Structure 1
Amino acid sequence: MKRVVKVAGASMAPTYRSGDLLLTRGIGRGGLPRRGQVVVLRRGGTRMLKRVVGVPDDQVEVEAGRLFVNGESVDGRGRVPGAVTAAWRVPTGSYFVAGDNPAVSDDSRVWDEPFVPLDHLEAVVIRWLARARRRTDLKPGELPAAADPAG
């Protein structure tokens, strides 16, 4: 089933901004999530939007804030000689996820249990629908007027 979701927060910036609308499809339709896809997941009682970085059996490393999967840099930045490295092998039925904005993203890189079980993934983003609109008719410091509930 396809659904529209609205982005909340800055963890996926600059790819997606808060308020953007995305079209998703349920997990299982079209196969399992693949590395690089953006997914909607549940963690505790919170829904999150994150990118799949590691799939089952991948070796994921975080070194000086840089991500490596199976020895390859995720963002093109090289290794840092002498840096402390954390490494994980993604178990069967689980995924390693990260936001595109590491400075603010709450994701597998910092969680005590870094893996997201497949049954916690709800949907895969298949298309961006609309960019968040910014009000340009307001003066600095001015707040928008409340909408008239009578219509």
Structure 2
Amino acid sequence: MFWLTRVRSNSMVPTLPDGSLVLTRSLRRTTPVRRGDLVIVNSRELGEPMVKRVIGLPEETVMITAGAVSIDGRALSEPYASPSVFSNSFRVPPDHYFLLGDNRDVSTDSRSWRDTYIPRNAIVGRILGWPWAWQTKGRVHS
């Protein structure tokens, strides 16, 4: 199934500015989730869907040092991410994911959520049309 998602924050700038309308495809529970995917997550903590980028996969160690991300000791190239001063380390549990916004010092994401890691069943869609995102007025959900 496909649907349109409206981005309702600046957490994904510059990739998806506030107000962007993007094509989203639902994910079956068996559909693989890959690093770099832009996904729609049903957040129990915030009570609304959110758009974030998949950074850490199950059982990986994500290290962030002054904004630079490495996965299991290997630097991750992130040309889409804004500079950040954040530093910390995270070990992703099985069947969970570590998600970040592209606008790192503005985004509320796995670094600040009470439930740091997102279970696979909370990832409900993948954005397909993000390179062709367009802006319109009004808000639907993010």
**TM bin (shorter chain):** 0.7 to 0.9
Aligned residues: 129
TM (normalized to structure 1)? 0.75
Alignment-derived partner of residue 126 in structure 1: 128
Tell me the amino acid that sits aligned with residue 23 of structure 2. Answer: L
Per the alignment, residue 90 of structure 2 pairs with: 88
Instruction: Specify the code of the residue in structure 2 equivalent to 1:53.
Output: I
Q: Any stretches of 5+ residues in structure 2 without a counterpart?
A: 80-85, 138-142
The structure with the larger Rg is 1
SS of 2:129's partner is strand
CA deviation after TM superposition for structure 1 residue 23, in Å: 0.8
- 1:74: how far off? 2.8
Q: Deviations over 1:57-95 (max 9, x none)?
A: 211112233322122233469xxxxxx953222111110
**What is the percentage of aligned positions where both structures have the same residue?**
34
Greater RCO (Cα-Cα under 8 Å, separation 6 or more): 2
Letter in 2 for 1:117: P
Deviation digits for residues 23-75 of structure 1 (CA, Å, limit 9, x no counterpart): 11112288221000000001121211000001112111122333221222334
Specify whether residues 114 and 132 from structure 1 end up closer, same or farther in structure 2 by C-alpha distance, changes over 3 A only.
same
Aligned mates of 1:76, 1:112 — CA distance in 2: 25
Distance 1:106 1:116 in 2: 13
Superposed counterparts of 1:55-134, under 5 Å: 55-75=57-77, 86-128=88-130, 129-133=132-136
Q: Distance in 2 between matches of 1:109 and 1:29?
A: 25
Q: Residues of 1 paired with 2:78 and 2:22: CA distance?
A: 27
**What is the distance in 1 between the residues matched to 2:115 and 2:30?**
28
Q: Which amino acid aligns with 1:46?
A: E
Q: Which moved more, 1:29-38 or 1:18-27?
A: 29-38
Distance of 1:107 and 1:47 partners within structure 2: 12
CA distance in 2, matches of 1:66, 1:13: 17
**Contiguous gaps of at least 5 residues in structure 1:** 78-83, 135-151
Q: Show structure 1 runs of 4+ deviating over 4 A.
A: none
Change (3 A) 1:52 1:21: same
What CA distance in whole angstroms lies between the structure 2 residues aligned with 1:11 and 1:76?
15
TM-score, length-scaled by structure 2: 0.79
8 Å CA contact 1:57–1:89 kept in 2: the answer is: yes
Matching residue of 1:53 = 55
Q: What is the RMSD of the two structures over their aligned residues, measured on CA atoms?
A: 2.5
